[in-house]
Amino acid sequence: MERVSTSVMRVLGGNPGMFTLQGTNTYLISPPNLERYPHLLLIDTGQGSAFPIWRRSIAQVLASESARIGKQVHITQCVLTHWHHDHVGGVNELRQLCAEEHAPAGDSEGGKEEKRGEELRIYKYPLSSAPPSEIPSSKDPSLDIETQLLRSANDDQDVGLIHPLHDGQILEVGDSTATDDEMLKLQVLYTPGHTADHIALLIASSPADPAEVGTIFTADAVLGHGTAVFEDLALYMRSLEKMKNAVEEMIVGKRGSETGGGNGQVEQEKRKGLAFPGHGAVIPDARAKIDEYIRHRAMREKEVLDVLAGTSAGQDGKVGGERKAWTPMEIVKVIYENVPESLHEAARRGVLQILQKLEAEGEVETVDEGERWRIIQKHHQQEQTTNDDSAQEPRSTL
């Protein structure tokens, strides 16, 4: 565990050496006055029983903070950023831990069960409320995490265990009797693309440290290393723009107006908001990293269009008088020619997402019963000039 800002403690919830993503970050959010209101909010729960170290780490943090302030510290709120198992897998462990923390000494197991739903509120953006166009076509039952969590309960008291979130909702961390200005506030940002139910969280108010305003918890939309995967590229791109604009508005717009503009606003524009990702290291400049992600995806889209248009090096792009039609893997072998073949299948899935986005935008069409893709609109000359920063990105990045 490490404290990475006044209000935020980071806990690694996985085996760092076992997966490429190097474990799942979970975060404990502290209220402005923990001594007066010893209740924490947790973001995500890691992978659960697969990695018992996560529960032990959480318990150690609670014990350490309790000893520091001389009062028992509890987790009373938990936000799940999306349905993937490495973010929700520890829900039952969390509930059990909270039951043990809240139960008076000598209570029976029944007493613990009775307290469990009362003391811990778990929040998640529900898949069922996402627009139909934003829900993946996959029938994988693991998508219905709300149903899974309810079925895993031991009694009927847990019906309604998951409290639904909505876009723009404010979650408060602090004493319920405190004034509005004394509460740490997290704003929910609905950011589909990685999954249909994905959210980010933005610190909208932090009385203990105003510099934290504009800090964003990006979950799996933006990572601390590498690039993210996604179910729907078009939605994902809109979500990246939404996150970037939200951070800018919080740092420059709101805080700049509070300082009365002028030099104060210039200072706000220079301030770099942190980003806390679902995997990897803390990101020191959220806006720069999100913008890097946007540029990277735009670069990949342009590379696909270049191949289809026959403007890539060594490609004529035509068969007879017609534009050549390409399979996604054929495109991969051009764009990722210097990348190990073991990564080509992952790259193919990304290229397919790009093609589907371009098809929806009227740029390309499918032929040969959907097996191949061909460009429709002329590839404009001005699009052939690659941004210098994008051109410097490593080709191994998918």
pLDDT at 109 over 70: no
Q: What are the CB-based long-range contacts (under 8 Å, 24+) for 101-108?
A: 101/62, 101/72, 101/74, 101/75, 102/74
Q: Specify the pLDDT at position 7.
A: 85
Q: What is the mean pLDDT of the chain?
A: 79
Q: Specify the pLDDT at position 6.
A: 77
- Tokens 């409290």 belong to 163
- CB neighbourhood size of 381 (10 A): 8
* Strand segments (E) across the chain: 2-3, 8-12, 25-29, 39-43, 74-80, 121-124, 162-164, 170-173, 184-190, 199-205, 216-219, 275-277, 318-319, 322-323, 364-367, 372-375
Task: Decide which of 3.30.420.40, 3.40.640.10, 3.40.309.10, 1.10.10.10 is the CATH code for 293-391.
Answer: 1.10.10.10
Higher per-residue pLDDT: 18 or 397: 397
DSSP result, 32-78:
TTTTT--EEEEE--TTGGG-THHHHHHHHHHHHHHHHHTS--EEEEE
What is the mean predicted confidence (pLDDT) over 347-356? Answer: 94
Domain segments of the chain as ranges? 2-284, 293-391
DSSP result, 296-357:
HHHHHHHHHHHHHHT-STT---EETTEEPPB-HHHHHHHHTTTS-GGGHHHHHHHHHHHHHH
pLDDT-based confidence at 149, cuts 50/70/90? low
Q: Specify the pLDDT at position 226.
A: 85
pLDDT at 27 over 50: yes
What is the mean predicted confidence (pLDDT) over 113-136? Answer: 63
pLDDT at 50 over 90: no
Whether 2-284 shares its CATH topology with 293-391 is answered no
What is the mean predicted confidence (pLDDT) over 331-354? Answer: 93
- CB neighbourhood size of 249 (10 A): 14
What is the mean predicted confidence (pLDDT) over 146-172? Answer: 66
pTM: 0.81
Q: What is the CATH class of 2-284?
A: alpha beta
Distance CA(266)–CA(247), nearest Å, equals 16
Most confident of 85-99, 140-154, 324-338: 324-338
What is the mean predicted confidence (pLDDT) over 88-116? Answer: 67
226 with 241: CB under 8 angstroms?
no
pLDDT-based confidence at 162, cuts 50/70/90? confident
Q: Specify the pLDDT at position 1.
A: 63
For 183-226, how does the pLDDT look when each residue is reduced to its tens digit (9 = 90+)? 899 999 999 999 999 999 999 999 989 999 999 999 999 999 88
Higher per-residue pLDDT: 110 or 346: 346
Higher per-residue pLDDT: 276 or 10: 276
pLDDT-based confidence at 144, cuts 50/70/90? low
For 29-39, how does the pLDDT look when each residue is reduced to its tens digit (9 = 90+)? 999 888 888 99
pLDDT-based confidence at 320, cuts 50/70/90? very low
Q: Specify the pLDDT at position 147.
A: 57
